[in-house]
Structure 1
Amino acid sequence: MTGQTEANNLNLYRKASVSKVPIFGVAPMIDWTDRHCRYFHRQISGNALLYTEMVVADAIIHGPRERLLSFDGAEHPVALQLGGSDPAKLAKAVEIATPHGYDEINLNVGCPSDRVQSGTFGACLMLTPGTVADCIRAMKAVSDVPVTVKCRIGVDDQEPELALPALLDKVLDAGADAVWIHARKAWLKGLSPKENREIPPLDYEIVYRMKQARPDVFIGINGGIQTLDEAAEHLRHVDGVMLGRAAYQNAAVLADVDHRFFGAPQSETDWDELRDRMMAYAGRHIAGGGRLQQVARHMVGLFTGLPGARRYRQILSTDAVKAGAGPEVIAAAFAAVDLAGTPEAVGA
């Protein structure tokens, strides 16, 4: 683990709580925020906190550990999100993951998928805050980095004004370093995972109230946030903010994150340099036995709104999947876009 990573480990949430330095993150998303996606996002923002997809503790213990846990050092700061409900298994997964050097370990208490429900974890854990606390306590005992929770405001017929503070009190007492709250209920019965991201109404105010009642605790928010202006408004009330699909579907929105939230000088993004870095990365991935499409699929939404964006998407969506496709496909896609627009126009 590098000195840089150690500093991140020690200061990630301490800085946010003491110095009021916000944390801006890209939310964990199953099938989306894999290592190729994170590397791509890191080329656009040097400071955003990036999250893995949820990785089930059993998979780490019994499955292909290197494939599940390895990542490029350029991704720091990067957090590992775990799924599970057995404290001993989660602690074992943390021990296995520790040598990889993640900057945070996060417990998923919000995913409503059928797979998660069958394993009685994810959003199901909102119903058993004592179990969540036991998991956090076990993970903290073996972790040298922050251990955090990402939850919903409630599930099914729970009353959020009762369920959410009950969960927060339990996990904070168990030592959780931060809580990220998706400001929607999850309906375990009757709604698909996609519908759970869209149908339950957003309630940002309840998250604000949780922070007001716990001024010394890091509380972050996500759910339905589309722009950096919206993110800045939320940061008037809480300590951190996550964008999910908005950042994935139009990654250029990340281009101003370092300036807006981390005090970096304002500068235009060098899109040619981004192209070259992604071509080099894709080349290394292909040389290692991978396929271009595994990298290129995360880049499709980059230039939404600019002239040539449709052709850019077509090239990456069709040519990148062909047998033998190489980094030159990325170059061809970038060449189709009129990059005369400002970073603001690209990320609008």
Structure 2
Amino acid sequence: MATMRDIAAAAGVSLKTVSRVQNDDPHVLPATRMRVEATMRELSYVPNALATTFRSGRSPVVGVAVPDIVDPFFAAIVNAVEEAALAEDLSTLVTSLGHDPARERQALESVLRRQLSGLVVAPTTTDHAYLKPWAERIPIAFVDRAPGRLVADSFTQDDRGGARLATAHLLGHGHRRLGFLGDSLALPTVAERLEGYREALAEAGVPFDPELVALEAATRPGAAAALERLRSPALGVTAVFSSDARCTMAAVPALTADPIALAAFGDFPLADSLTPSITVIAQDPAELGRLAAARLFERSAHPGRRLRRRTVLPVTLVERDSCRVGVGTV
């Protein structure tokens, strides 16, 4: 197998020049670059990724950290980053953070110690000051949730606007007692969607009732208990806005047994095949992953650029049958 030293000797250049060509250094003369690349092809040269790691201090690997790699939303992000990395001849290291915020720092720092070329992370905490030393060394891009106490690139969806759109849609069907189903307000996405829910109520002249906010609904028992409380005669809820796909999926058994008007944030597999099919705010997690990966590659190519940007992607309402449950009786 040919080595860089073999390429240098055959092309009549220094070892350093071969290294510069391999690393796409713009200061190599075009004629020299062409001669070195032609020699690489003739000798079937394969770059040594391990040697590249030693020289640059970074491995040819992009890290991806998400709360749950099985969750369809986060799986789509991971797949998009993997495809983008493969196109750049990079490998991908994927890790699951879990849903316990206390795990995040240990999990991320364990991955970062592997000298990654970049990291895409969907965080679970709201304080990322601990990542500042790492962010000074490698590009880090946040997806789904923006970082807290850290200046970094982020790619999120319009959480507040989507929640406002879904709630307004249910109000448009004549409902006035609307419940809010969510996981925890410690999650920025849930907090933002609650604000969108409240804004839609205010715009329609419907008073906000904190009793209609049901949290801890990301498990089947939690979702069933939340729906039972919301539908009690004392509260009289006739429609529910579910603030994320985990809560919606957890609520499916209870909703199937006893349907109620519903609009949910986040699509998921078979949501359109249930009875009734679920009206959702559709996101594009794959686009989040693609954009985040592209930003990492851009940062690596131009490390001197200091400005970090927050990108918010639009969402859309996909109307199905669940929002029409009970219409005509409310």
Instruction: Report if TM-score (shorter chain) is over 0.5.
Output: no
Bigger-Rg structure (1/2): 2
Q: Bin the TM-score by the shorter chain.
A: under 0.3
Q: More helix by proportion, 1 or 2? A: 1
TM-score (norm 1): 0.26
